[in-house]
Amino acid sequence: MNFTIKQNPVILGIESSCDETAAAVIRGRKLLSSVIISSATEQAKYGGVVPEIASRAHTEAVDEAVGKALSEAGVTAKQIDAVAVTYGAGLLGALLVGLSFAKSLAYTLGVPLIAVNHIRGHLAAAYLSDETLKPPYITLLASGGHTAILHTQSYTEFSVLGATCDDAAGEAFDKVARILSLPYPGGPNVQRLAESGKASIAFPQALVKNSVKLQFSYSGLKTAVINYCHTASQRGEEVNAADVAASFQCAAVDPLVKKAVECALKTGARIITAGGGVAANDYLRTTLTAECEKHGIKCVLPEKKYCTDNAAMIAAEGLIQYNAGNFAPLDLNAQAQIPLK
């Protein structure tokens, strides 16, 4: 089907890749509404996301989330110009719920369907907090599945300057939370505990030294935290959990911030953005802002609620794809994994 590209289209975004059922509406670059219905409380009972529970929760919530997003935006279904949906990466069963809903809606309304890569959604979140933002810029991407520094050259093109060679930063936060017996979701709880601690323990920084390509590594840091806690308990010593949390947080975040700034200086990019759940971390936000200021670099951070999973970022990336005329066929399938590049 051929579709005319409109100026300032109304785009409905739908996200269901993990445990958040989310819907949002934008008109052009203006965000009109963003609704999130989370099954995190239910998941917390099991200490992590149970895919079956996530899929069922999406099935129950998707209609309500979309209905609320439209009514809060003051938009009727007929005014929607395109439906943007996350097709991957994520939990297959969970993705299929949002995807099927989006396909039916796009077909019924006779509007284009836009396939959004979840990670590109995290990158696009920065556009929501600064309507003047345009490439080129560097992005510090840190979520539960990815950790990378990217160079966005145009709205649709980016290159990967460096990435983790094992765990993602968010995964490390979640694992350290488990070691410290903190409840799910781990990241925010490690941050909260770290606020009352001192970064006094010298854990190894999450940066692979002497590598040609810029690489991060979180598995060694995670093991160092485990060893520190085990050794202390074997000696019958009490571990100061707040100090462990604060020291881990520094070792995990400092290399990311340092390298993001270095990449900006090397490429000549004058802007750094951040995206993904770990970008909601207050220590990361403060240090990145301060380092950028020091070097005269503009720092564009999405609001915290648009760093973790949401549909506003899916609609924002949907707009980029819409303007590029990238529409998806109605036999679009979900993908559990999509390479970063």
- Binding residues for ligand KG4, rule: CB under 6 A, are 18, 122, 143-145, 170-171, 173-174, 185-188, 191, 276-278, 280-281, 308-309
In the complex with ligand KG4, which residue's Cβ is closer, 81 or 171? 171
> What, of Zn ion, ligand KG4, none, does residue 162 touch, CB below 5 to 8 Å by kind?
none
In the complex with Zn ion, the residue whose CB is nearer, 309 or 317, is 309
Query: DSSP of 70-119, one letter per residue?
Result: HHHHT--GGG--EEEEEEESS-HHHHHHHHHHHHHHHHHHT--EEEEEHH
User: How far apart are CB 278 and ligand KG4 at their closest, in Å?
Assistant: 4
What is the rounded CA–CA span in Å between residue 318 and residue 82? Answer: 8
* CA–CA distance, 122 with 170 (Å, rounded to integer): 14
Residue 191 site contact among ligand KG4, Zn ion, none (CB < 5 to 8 Å, cut-off depends on kind): ligand KG4
Q: How far is CA 119 from CA 52, 66, 141, in A?
A: 23, 21, 9
- Measured from the CB of residue 35, what is the shortest distance to ligand KG4 in angstroms? 16
Q: What is the DSSP string of 120-158?
A: HHHHHHHHHH-TT--SSEEEEEE-SS-EEEEEE-SSS-E
The residues, ordered by sequence, that sit 6+ positions from 78 with a Cβ below 8 Å of its Cβ are 109
* Closer residue to ligand KG4, CB minimum distance, 106 or 176: 176
Q: Smallest distance from the beta carbon of 142 to ligand KG4, in angstroms? A: 7
Give the C-alpha separation, 160 to 213, whole Å: 10
As measured in angstroms, the least distance from the Cβ of 218 to ligand KG4 is 11
Nearer to ligand KG4, 112 or 147 (CB): 147
Give residues with Cβ within 8 angstroms of 267, minimum separation 6.
136, 138, 151, 161
Quick one: what does residue 186 bind among ligand KG4, Zn ion, none, with the CB cut-off 5 to 8 Å set by partner type? ligand KG4
Burial 266-280 (b: 16+ CB within 10 A, else e): eeebebbbbbbbbbb
Distance of CA 68 to the CA centre of its chain: 23
Residues near Zn ion (CB under 5 A) are 143, 309
Partner interacting with residue 112 (select from Zn ion, ligand KG4, none; CB below 5-8 Å by kind):
none
Answer positive or negative: Cα dihedral of 168, 135, 261, 214. Answer: positive
Residues 186 and 193 sit within 8 Å (Cβ to Cβ): no
Least distance CB 107 / ligand KG4 (angstroms): 28
**By C-beta, is 170 or 255 nearer to ligand KG4?**
170
Q: Which of 143/321 has CB closer to Zn ion?
A: 143
Cβ proximity to ligand KG4: between 40 and 109 the closer is: 40
Q: List the single partner that 82 binds among ligand KG4, Zn ion, none, CB under 5 to 8 Å by kind.
A: none
Amino acid at 285: R
Report what 254 binds from ligand KG4, Zn ion, none; CB cut-off 5-8 Å by kind: none
Least separation, in Å, of the C-beta of 22 and ligand KG4? 11
CB of 36 to Zn ion, least distance (A): 12
